[in-house]
Structure formats: structure tokens, C-alpha cells
Amino acid sequence: MGKIYQVIVHGLRDEMLPIDLCNTEEQMKSMTVLQLKEKISEKLPDNAGEDALRLVFTDKPLDEDHKPLSEYGIQHMSVIHMILKVPGGEAVLSGGCGQRTSAALPSSLPVSVTAC
């Protein structure tokens, strides 16, 4: 039996999910972001499909579904971070202590909140 190429997905609750991708180096070179999302969604609860996944590798979002993982530099045992997209809404931004400003933000934009 040949080598199994895997990546490790750092999940939403700090779990590490090993994802089996393929059996040959040629398959690994042609594996796409969409194929990875499909494999990840197989391990997630039914309510989270691949369209709700946002993947990040070395601070680069894997946002082109048909792009090969190899073009992002992903190799066997690379660690990929998973973020779940949530429906968009309104965020409250602080312009200083006591000042609040509302703004609509894209649903996948990470937001940090700091208290004064």
C-alpha cells in the first residue's frame, strides 16, 4: 500500500483534524481547494457545508476553489486553519471609549473587540 498524503486542519474548537487527501504525489499536486473543502465537510456536522468554510494557510486565504493546493505551497502534513463563515450583519466599532460606530462588514471578515 502506498503513502497516504494528508493535511492537518486546525478546527473551530482547537481540534486537529487529519484529512486524507490522496495516495500519489501526482494526485497531491492536482488536488484543488474545492476537493479539500469537500473532504473537510465530510467530517463536519450536516449543517456545515463546504460553502460555509473559509480556509487559511500561512496567512493566505484559500479563496480560489479550482486552484491547486500546491500553488499555495501546501504539502503533505501542512496545517490549514479553518474558519466558519457566519451570516453577515452589523458590527459595533469603537471610536474610543464611550463612542460607538456601526458598520456593515463582510461575513468572513475577522473582527476583534477590545474593551476600554
Domains of the chain: 5-84 (3.10.20.90), 86-116 (no CATH)
Q: What is the pTM of this model?
A: 0.70
User: How many CB atoms neighbour CB 38 within 10 A?
Assistant: 14
Termini Cα distance of the chain: 58
In this prediction, residue 102 carries a pLDDT of 43
Cell of 70: 500546491
User: DSSP letter string over 34-78?
Assistant: HHHHHHHHHTS-TT--GGGEEEEETTEE---TTSBGGGGT--TT-
pLDDT in tens, 15-59: 999 999 999 999 999 999 999 999 998 887 765 666 778 899 999
In this prediction, residue 47 carries a pLDDT of 56
State the Cα angle at 49 between 68 and 60, rounded to 5°: 40
pLDDT in tens, 83-102: 877 766 544 444 444 444 44
